[in-house]
């Protein structure tokens, strides 16, 4: 073979790898063979199908990412992206850089999707109600109605924040000074997280030390191990000299959860351990900040999550058609056709080489289309969480009267949790999130009117902070299943076939990722869709 023949043979070989296993494998092979673009890096996360903890986790394949794709691969090709949320905007941003001519059709007047922040004067429309935000005008008085926290290892999202110079600050998931409240434990009295945690650790340590000292674990532990573990348990649980748990200063002092009557030096009586173990609530809520996606450090953009949406939007605004409501998605020879209504109600048609659809499955299933039956049925059967939230403006009584700065109080009531603002500390007023729920209680919430939601959130909030109803005002709520063009909070079904192309139509969105319900998932899904498209265009 001469050198030209060798090159062609090598390219045929690579193309067949590409067809067989997808383009990122091909690109990695190309890189390894010293051909083409930069070396594809091995991501730690995967955009492959399957949910965490599912019985058959997907094989660990590195997820594609920018840098995997040859520059100019898209020159001369057109793409329509349906939906201007984080998935759609990531797709447009990255594909434009590859030379594709991108157009985003966004149904609403503002991009961002469920990355949305509400401030004075903003309106929340649901299918059967409309609310105007009555907060005062102030940079700290905002409500992240959708995405609200970013795990420190969501590296692609945080990479964009860095690239866009978006200032970040800490979002507190666990606050020792916040409350845990069960209607059926401790006479319905809220307990400080610090005491629940100290007493749980103290009792676990006490019991394990007892087992060790009664020689129950001699099969597992050498004499030396026993000495070491006893030392560890004493410190883990703050045990006394004889490995008892009489209570710990870690739990705070009597009266510390309220104003005044603080008696330093006197320890609190430990909570009855039987009550802590008799209800899963106490364990679940203590475990929550240990899950991988909720561990510290959690972050938030200064001034509201929509700083991220605005930064994306600023870079691609020219390619976004706002208030463009998709009415049909069709296949044409070697391409796709999308019909939409523009902002004045005129029907418009756009023909492209590729369509990348990020419309939530809950909305997509009602748009006439030419999808293959397997894709259609996956879309029809896709489930969504029904999450909802409510927020109030209030004097910062939690800071001024209870020493609570940021973080979450938990309750067994429908409201589930209360979020204190993680910024603006020491200012007079703040926005408190008075409910954030995602189970069946979220569906109850969806069925209430905005005023009923306010009433029930205040009644329940009173059980955490007895002064609540006298302090909070201007309540405003969102129930994602009732928000037009969203009709759900986040996807919960297996992405399955929707990770594969349907002719020239590709799918993306948080629901089609390993990180459902996270902006990082939206980004990973965008990379996956881009990868599928690019694999078609690699010469």
Residue 248 Ramachandran class (φ > 0 left, ψ -120 to 50 alpha, else beta): beta
CA 227 to each of CA 214, 233, 240, 244, 465: distance values in angstroms, whole numbers, following the listed order = 13, 10, 15, 16, 44
Nearer to ligand PHE, 281 or 518 (CB): 518
CB of 398 to ligand PHE, least distance (A): 20
With CB under 6 A, what is the number of residues at the site for ligand PHE?
4
Closest CB to ligand PHE among residues 248, 412: 412
Nearer to ligand PHE, 149 or 375 (CB): 149
Shortest distance (Å) from residue 465 CB to ligand PHE: 22
281 binds ligand PHE (CB under 6 A): no
Q: Using CA atoms, how far apart are residues 369 and 377, in angstroms rounded to an integer?
A: 12
Site for ligand PHE in 58-87 (CB under 6 A): none
Nearer to ligand PHE, 371 or 490 (CB): 490
How far apart are the C-alpha atoms of 214 and 177, rounded to whole Å? 36
Q: How far is the CB of 490 from ligand PHE (least distance, A)?
A: 6
- Residue nearer to ligand PHE on the CB measure, 87 or 105: 87
**Out of 77, 149, 465, 511, which residue is the one contacting ligand PHE (CB under 6 A)?**
149
The total number of residues shown for the chain amounts to: 539
CA–CA gap between residue 216 and residue 86 (Å, rounded): 54
CB of 145 to ligand PHE, least distance (A): 12
- CA-to-CA separations, 500 to 335, 430, 442, 533, in angstroms, rounded: 16, 45, 32, 11
Closest distance of CB 102 from ligand PHE, Å: 27
Site string for ligand PHE, 91-130 (x = CB under 6 A): ----------------------------------------
**Closer to ligand PHE by Cβ: residue 420 or 518:** 518
* Residue pointed to by tokens 């998709």: 326
Nearest residue to ligand PHE by CB is 517
Give the residue with the Cβ less far from ligand PHE, 398 or 490: 490
CA-to-CA distance for 106 and 80, rounded, in angstroms?
A: 11
Backbone angles phi, psi at 36, to 5 degrees: 80, -140
**Element (H or E) spanning 80, and its range?**
strand 78-82
Query: Could you write out the DSSP letters of every residue in 50-66?
Result: S-TT-SSPPP--PPP-T
Backbone angles phi, psi at 83, to 5 degrees: 105, 125
> C-beta of 115: minimal distance to ligand PHE in Å?
11
User: What is the distance between the alpha carbons of residues 202 and 134, in angstroms, rounded to a whole number?
Assistant: 46
Smallest distance, Å, CB 377 to ligand PHE?
25
Nearer to ligand PHE among residue 149 and residue 396 (C-beta): 149
Both structure tokens of 17? 């790898």
Could you tell me the smallest distance in angstroms from the CB atom of residue 324 to ligand PHE? Answer: 28
b/e sequence 127-155, b meaning 16+ C-beta within 10 Å? eeeebebebeebebbbbbbbbbbbbeebb
411-470 residues in contact with ligand PHE (CB under 6 A) are: none
The C-alpha atoms of residue 248 and residue 195 are separated, in whole angstroms, by 9
Residues of span 218-277 touching ligand PHE by CB under 6 A: none
374: left (phi over 0), alpha (psi -120 to 50) or beta: alpha
Q: Which is nearer to ligand PHE, 312 or 490 (CB)?
A: 490
Cα–Cα–Cα angle for 438, 444, 449, rounded to 5 degrees: 115
* Per-position x/- string for 179-198, each x denoting binding to ligand PHE as judged by CB under 6 A, each - no binding: --------------------
What residues from 472 to 531 belong to the interface with ligand PHE (CB under 6 A)? 490, 517-518
Nearer residue to ligand PHE within complex by CB, 54 or 231: 54
CB of 442 to ligand PHE, least distance (A): 12
Kindly tell me which of 6 and 153 has the beta carbon lying closer to ligand PHE. 153
Shortest spacing between CB 133 and ligand PHE, in angstroms: 21
> Rounded to the nearest whole angstrom, what is the least distance from the CB of residue 492 to ligand PHE in the complex?
9
Rounded CA-CA distance 406/409 in Å is 10
Q: Which residues bind ligand PHE (CB under 6 A)?
A: 149, 490, 517-518
């Amino acid at each position: 073979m001469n050198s030209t023949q060798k090159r062609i043979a090598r390219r045929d070989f690579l193309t067949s790898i590409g067809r067989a296993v997808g383009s990122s494998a091909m690109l990695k092979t190309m890189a390894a063979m010293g051909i083409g673009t930069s070396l594809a890096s091995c991501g730690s996360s995967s955009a492959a199908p399957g949910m965490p903890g599912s019985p058959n986790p997907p094989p660990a394949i590195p997820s594609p990412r920018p840098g995997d794709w040859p520059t100019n691969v898209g020159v001369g090709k057109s793409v329509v992206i349906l939906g201007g949320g984080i998935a759609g905007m990531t797709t447009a941003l990255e594909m434009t850089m590859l030379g594709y001519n991108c157009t985003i059709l966004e149904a609403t007047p503002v991009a961002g999707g469920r990355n949305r922040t509400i401030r004075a004067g903003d309106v929340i429309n649901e299918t059967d109600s409309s609310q105007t935000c009555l907060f005062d005008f102030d940079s700290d008085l905002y409500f992240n109605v959708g995405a609200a926290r970013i795990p420190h290892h969501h590296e692609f999202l945080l990479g964009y924040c860095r690239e866009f110079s978006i200032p970040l600050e800490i979002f507190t998931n666990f606050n020792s000074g916040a409350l845990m409240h069960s209607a059926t434990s401790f006479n319905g009295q809220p307990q400080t997280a610090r005491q629940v945690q100290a007493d749980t650790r103290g009792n676990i340590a006490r019991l394990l030390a007892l087992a060790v000292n009664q020689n129950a674990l001699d099969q597992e532990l050498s004499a030396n191990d026993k000495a070491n573990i006893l030392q560890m348990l004493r410190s883990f649980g703050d045990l006394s000299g004889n490995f008892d748990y009489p209570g710990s200063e870690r739990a705070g002092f009597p009266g510390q959860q309220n104003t005044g009557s603080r008696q330093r030096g006197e320890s609190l009586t430990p909570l009855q351990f039987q009550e802590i173990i008799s209800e899963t609530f106490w364990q679940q809520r203590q475990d929550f900040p240990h899950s991988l996606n909720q561990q510290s450090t959690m972050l938030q953009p200064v001034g509201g999550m929509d700083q991220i949406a605005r930064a994306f939007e600023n870079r691609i605004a020219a390619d976004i058609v706002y208030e463009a409501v998709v009415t049909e998605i069709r296949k044409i020879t070697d391409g796709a056709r999308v019909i939409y209504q523009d902002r004045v109600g005129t029907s418009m048609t756009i023909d492209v080489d590729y369509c990348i659809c990020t419309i939530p499955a809950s909305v997509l299933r009602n748009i006439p289309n030419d999808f293959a039956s397997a894709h259609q049925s996956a879309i029809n059967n896709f489930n969504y969480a029904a999450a909802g939230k409510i927020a109030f403006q209030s004097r910062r009584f939690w800071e001024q009267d209870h020493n609570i700065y940021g973080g979450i109080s938990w309750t067994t009531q429908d409201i589930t949790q209360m979020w204190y603002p993680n910024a603006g500390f020491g200012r007079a007023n703040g926005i408190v999130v008075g409910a954030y729920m995602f189970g069946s209680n979220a569906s109850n919430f969806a069925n209430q009117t905005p005023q009923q939601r306010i009433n029930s959130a205040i009644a329940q909030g009173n059980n955490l902070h007895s002064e609540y109803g006298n302090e909070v005002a201007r309540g405003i709520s969102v129930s994602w299943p009732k928000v037009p063009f969203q009709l759900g909070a986040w996807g919960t079904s297996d992405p399955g076939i929707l990770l594969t192309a349907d002719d020239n139509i590709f799918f993306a969105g948080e629901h089609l990722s390993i990180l459902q319900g996270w902006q990082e998932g939206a980004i990973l899904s965008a990379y996956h869709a881009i990868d599928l498209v690019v694999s078609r265009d690699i010469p």
